[in-house]
Amino acid sequence: MPVLTMLQSSARVGGHIAHLLTSASRLDVRRMHRLIDAGLEPDEYSEVMENLRTAAACYETDAVDM
């Protein structure tokens, strides 16, 4: 738990989330048959991507406010 708290409060998390978002946006989930076979729906993936965008925006706002 302390590691997660430290990660959450780090200013570098925004950069990591942005990098993850950039990498994940390059993926075409429809072509990844194993993920679809495992039960991942394209709509669920879109929701996860939106959550990443929201999280990245929160850290951008915090960086500007500091």
Q: Per the domain annotation, does 3 fall within a domain?
A: no
Q: Per the domain annotation, does 2 fall within a domain?
A: no
Q: What is the pLDDT of residue 63?
A: 47
Q: Per the domain annotation, does 28 fall within a domain?
A: yes
pLDDT (tens digit, 9 = 90+) per residue, 17-66?
889 999 999 988 888 889 888 998 888 989 989 988 888 888 775 444 44
Range(s) of the domain holding residue 15: 10-65
Distances (CA, A) of 30 to 19, 20, 34, 48, 50: 22, 19, 10, 15, 17
Q: What is the pTM of this model?
A: 0.66
Compute φ and ψ for 27, nearest 5 degrees: -80, 140
Q: Per the domain annotation, does 50 fall within a domain?
A: yes
Q: Per the domain annotation, does 4 fall within a domain?
A: no
Q: Per the domain annotation, does 54 fall within a domain?
A: yes
Q: Per the domain annotation, does 5 fall within a domain?
A: no
Q: What is the pLDDT of residue 1?
A: 46
Q: What is the pLDDT of residue 4?
A: 55
Phi-psi label, residue 4: left if phi above 0, alpha if psi -120 to 50, beta otherwise:
alpha
Domain count, the chain: 1
* CA angle, 60 then 16 then 56, to 5°: 30
Q: Per the domain annotation, does 61 fall within a domain?
A: yes
